[in-house]
Structure 1
């Protein structure tokens, strides 16, 4: 998954390509089986058999069948790239800039392939998978908090609560609020993949109307 603020991957080696292909095969098998048989009727054994891998190999890639269905990989953030992204979004507030970057994560997900459409339908129909999908998509936020803290320390002029909060406290609040807004946008897009993803300004306007 690309966020536009992550490390650029090096050229893919043969081993890396085989790992990617194996991971994709497991994801495809998991989603296809759940789509055909229903979530409760699918086991790791069945997924492994269809993907032509051992159960041991399955667990090398995914801890549970839910994770295979959701199919999200880790995002490795590059602090310098995140800081550069904030620089590009200046003079936006830290909240608006963070929400913009989080919505880019959603926008960069695969929404067009057949497997993505099947996944979106399954996630929308299964509350437990929806939670896993939302949490997995934004699994990088812990690192993001520390990166934003460092940026606020380096750029105190952009802070909005410098008199009341430390940089770390402000970063935690900014990320928490932007995260919930971005999860809302992701949940709506997952429920209706054909609907356009709202821009940060639209989501922010809704949030402002809610909080008053």
Structure 2
């Protein structure tokens, strides 16, 4: 039986779209909900057009009451029958209480080669450090920010002419390859890391379910 996947977004949802597009055929999961904290997030329209149920929990309606906001998120996920939660550009920090409800079943994609550069401004930080390579990481979500077990990484060489914007644009297609590959493997019960080099095929490609 296919695992039910909910995707949390705050914006246009390009990683969400890549995840939805991947969950077809013999994939071991199917999307059951796209949930946003932003009522007019562009990704909601994209998800609806793909035939995926959508919902909104506006964080502004719960200003100053994060437990109420997260309780509303949890109710939507439970109502949708979600078994796996994928954060895909969800721009709210989740409390340990919420994470504890979904720990071991919640994934996130982060634009750096963790453990390097948790948090924000990852592309600028990689350039400022003079790094030779950069990329993205999919990890399990734990109470510590961007510190959960790594389930996959994709990397590329930094070019001398790169800026934070060009580096972000070059990493994004890697995100769109990595996250679906990790989800497929994770949904099949396999937590071996997926490794991708820019311009190369998957290392240890995920097994067919």
Q: After TM superposition, is the score higher than 0.5?
A: no
Determine which structure has the larger helix proportion and give its number.
1
TM range (shorter): 0.3 to 0.5
Determine which structure has the larger strand proportion and give its number.
2
TM-score, normalization: structure 2? 0.33
Higher relative contact order structure (alpha carbons within 8 Å, sequence separation ≥ 6): 1
TM-score, normalization: structure 1? 0.33
